[in-house]
Amino acid sequence: MNIKVIGVGKLKEKYLKDGIAEYAKRMSKFGKFDIIEVPDEKAPEQLSDAQMQQVMQKEGERILGKIKDREYVFALAIKGKERSSEELAAEISKLALQGDSDITFIIGGSLGLHPDVLARADAQISFGRFTLPHQLMRLVLSEQIYRAFMINAHSPYHK
């Protein structure tokens, strides 16, 4: 199985990099796990609606350029469907059984995801209504993907 996480912006904090690297190492026994960073669009602090849309569009084009046609795509979005760890594990297992072995998760930048990215997604997933820094979200998502694989492997890790 090939799992890819596409995130906007460069990960800066060492502790986040270290945590993600640990989960990537653990994931290697289940398949390939990649984190793809696309540049965030520089923008002034105060943006008009038009400027916000322009920033999201440019970031969205960069994201879409990293997705292949055959990939099953989960977009992380506040309005997405909340899932338990067990539900995500079951969904990943079902995708694998259907032959969808290339799964991509997308984390947008500080303004969110452009509608074109959401339209490309096969599913939208939410980690709740609270806001997390998108860099921290990469670590949280990496752990949850690893947890899903451990659930599917009937490992005691999940307990």
Of 134, 136, 141, the C-alpha closest to 7 is: 134
- Contact at 8 Å (CB) between 120 and 64? yes
Residue whose tokens read 């322009």? 54
Number of residues that make up the chain: 159
The annotation status of 108 as a binding-site residue, yes or no, is yes
The annotation status of 64 as a binding-site residue, yes or no, is no
Of 42, 63, 64, 65, the C-alpha closest to 54 is: 42
Position 34, amino acid: D
Rounded CA gap, 53 and 72, in Å?
A: 25
The DSSP code for 81 is E
Residue 8 burial by Cβ neighbours in a 10 Å radius (0-12, 13-18, 19+): buried
Annotated binding-site residue numbers:
76, 108
Annotated binding-site residue numbers for S-adenosyl-L-methionine:
76, 108
